[in-house]
Every structure is written in structure tokens, then in C-alpha cells.
Structure 1
């Protein structure tokens, strides 16, 4: 198990899903941007670093069925499965490090809220983008949310690389066209605030 995997397994083994700073009962901006990216309920959607996020619950309720959630932590994914119950059977649960993962299929929508910003090493970011390119078909869309440039410098005890839409565009490269960007002031469970930015890109071609 890598150091990164060990860290996140420990986080989810010792904290409940509502006891982490990134918890959202209803991830409104993510849902709005996914609907805008591909409103077809037959769309294949993957949530990168989804952990125990409730985004997949919301997508199931809205009628999406071709869903996948990828995370380093098996504990986090198990928590989500238990919460969802029988409906979890239709979801593809992937325990993997996105920087070394080998996608077996392509997706119409790639969603990542607060995973990419933990990649402070440029080589890790390049590996992430290589997997993204392998997994997102031409015309597919990519939604990445990170701490904004004025957001926190650390999360869960780890340093982060803050971004705006321009820096993300540089990371993804010219084959990805920026469609929209939005800002969010996230309120943590203990009533502090964090500045996030959400950027949506479309793969050209």
C-alpha cells in the first residue's frame, strides 16, 4: 500500500463521513455542472476521489445508472456502499490511485471534487492527466474542483496545490476547452469556510 493510500485509509477508518472538512450533504454545484455537461441519463460518469461522498446517491436518485466511483480508500467506498444499500450494486466501485490506474472504459463525464489539488508533484499531475485522457472520449467533459488560489494551503494534514481555471487549463492541455468556471464558499461541518473553484472543460474532437 502506498503512503497516499495509507493516509486516506487511516482518515476514513477513524472519522465518520460527516466528520471530514469536505463533507457536503448535497453537492449542489457538482450536480448542476454534471447536468449541464451531459443531461442524458445514459451518460457514463466517474467520480474521482469520490470516497464516501453523497454525490453518487444524488445521481442515482436523478436516474443516472452508468456510474463509477474511484478512491484510494476501500474504507470510504465501503461506507458509501452501506449507506446506499441495494442500489450500490449498479455502481462500479474502483479502489485505485488515479495516478497509476488503468481505465478499462471511457466516460462521458469525469468529475473530481478535491482530489486533484492533493497532487503537489508535477509528475503526479502529469500521470493524472494521462489517465484522464485515456478515460474521457472526444466530446466528453471534465469537471475539476480544487481549493481556489485564496483557499487553504493544507487539507487533512497534507499540502495542496491550489488552482484556478487558467492553471487547470495548462495542466490539461489544449485539447480541453474551458466551458465554465464557478466559485464556491464551502462551509465545513465545524462552521469554517473554504474557497473552492469548479471548472468544466470539454474535450475537443
Structure 2
């Protein structure tokens, strides 16, 4: 088990859903961007680092049928499965590290609000983008939310790499066009604030 996996297993074993800074009652911006990227309810969507996020709940309620959630922590995914109940069987739950995962299919929408900004080593970011390029279909969309340049320098005791749309475009490399970017001031469960950015790219056909 990697150090990353151990860290996140411990986090989700010891903290409740609303006891982590990134908790969102309603993942509104993510859902709006996914709808804009592909309103087809048969679209293949993957949430990278989805953990116990409520995005999967929102996507199911919105009528999307082909959803995958990938996370390092089996504990996090188990929490999400328990929360959504019987419909959890309709979701593809993947316990894996996004930098070493081997995709077996392609996706129309790749969403990540949790994983990429923890990749402070350029080699890990390169490995992540390699998996992304394998997994995102031609014409598909990539939505990556990270701490903004004026956001926190650490999260859950770990250093983070802050980004804006330009730095994300540089990481993705050629073949991806920026479609939109949004800013968000996220309010944590204990009412502190964190600056996020959300950027959506489309892969050129």
C-alpha cells in the first residue's frame, strides 16, 4: 500500500463525511459543467478522486447512467456506496491511484475536484496525464478543479500544487482546448474559505 493510499484510508476511517474541508452538500459547479460538456444521459463519466463526494448522487438523480468513481481509498468509496444505497450497484467503483491506473475503456467526461492538486511531483502529473489521454474519448471533456493560485498551500496535512486554467492547459499538453473556467470561494464545514478554480477542456477529435 502506497503512502498516498495509507494517508487517505486513514482520513476516511477516522473522519465523517462533513468533517473534511472539501465537503460539499451540493456539487453545483461540477454538475453544471458536466451537463454543459455532455447532456446525454448515456455518456460515460468518471469522477477521479471522487471519494465520498456527493457528485455521484447528483449525477444519478440527474439521470446519468454510466458513472465510474475512482479513488485511492476503499474506505471513501464504501462511505459513498452506503450513503446512496441500492443504486450503488449501478456505479463502477474503482479503487486505484490515478497515476498508475490502467483504464480499460474510454470516457466522454473526466471530472476531478480532488486528486490533481495533490500531485506536487511533476512525474506524478505526467503519469496522471498519460492515463487521462488514454481514457478520454476523442471529442470528450476534461473538468479539473483545483485550489486556485490564491488558495490553500496545504490540505489534509499535505502540500498541494495550485493551478489556473493556463497551468492546467500546459499540463494537459496539445490536443485540448479550454472551453470555460470558473472561480469558486468554497466554504468549509467550519466556515473558513478556500479559493478554487474549475476548468473545462475539450479533446480535439
In structure 1, C-alpha distance between the alignment counterparts of 2:182 and 2:171, rounded to whole Å: 18
In structure 2, C-alpha distance between the alignment counterparts of 1:118 and 1:20, rounded to whole Å: 15
Q: Which deviations, in whole Å up to 9, do the C-alpha atoms of 1:88-131 show, x marking residues without a partner?
A: 00000000000000001000000000210000000000000000
TM-score using structure 2 length: 1.00
Q: Give the secondary-structure state (helix, strand or coil) at the position aligned to 2:104.
A: coil
Q: Which deviations, in whole Å up to 9, do the C-alpha atoms of 1:44-98 show, x marking residues without a partner?
A: 0000000000000010001001000000000000000000000000000000000
Q: How many residue pairs align between the two structures?
A: 205
Query: Who is 2:53 aligned against?
Result: 53
Q: Give the secondary-structure state (helix, strand or coil) at the position aligned to 2:168.
A: helix
Deviation at 1:174, TM superposition (A): 1.4
Query: Who is 1:73 aligned against?
Result: 73
In structure 2, C-alpha distance between the alignment counterparts of 1:114 and 1:83, rounded to whole Å: 19
Query: Who is 2:202 aligned against?
Result: 202
In structure 2, C-alpha distance between the alignment counterparts of 1:16 and 1:101, rounded to whole Å: 27
In structure 1, C-alpha distance between the alignment counterparts of 2:15 and 2:175, rounded to whole Å: 39
Q: Which 4+ residue blocks in structure 1 deviate beyond 4 angstroms?
A: none
In structure 1, C-alpha distance between the alignment counterparts of 2:134 and 2:21, rounded to whole Å: 31
Q: Give the secondary-structure state (helix, strand or coil) at the position aligned to 2:199.
A: strand
Alignment of 1:43-192 (within 5 A): 43-192=43-192
Q: Give the secondary-structure state (helix, strand or coil) at the position aligned to 2:12.
A: helix
In structure 2, C-alpha distance between the alignment counterparts of 1:174 and 1:17, rounded to whole Å: 37
Is it true that 1:19 corresponds to 2:22 in the alignment?
Answer: no
In structure 2, C-alpha distance between the alignment counterparts of 1:114 and 1:46, rounded to whole Å: 13
Unmatched segments (≥5 aa) in structure 2 = none
In structure 2, C-alpha distance between the alignment counterparts of 1:199 and 1:174, rounded to whole Å: 16
In structure 1, C-alpha distance between the alignment counterparts of 2:125 and 2:80, rounded to whole Å: 27
In structure 1, C-alpha distance between the alignment counterparts of 2:186 and 2:99, rounded to whole Å: 26
In structure 1, C-alpha distance between the alignment counterparts of 2:2 and 2:115, rounded to whole Å: 16
Unmatched segments (≥5 aa) in structure 1 = none
Q: Give the secondary-structure state (helix, strand or coil) at the position aligned to 2:189.
A: coil
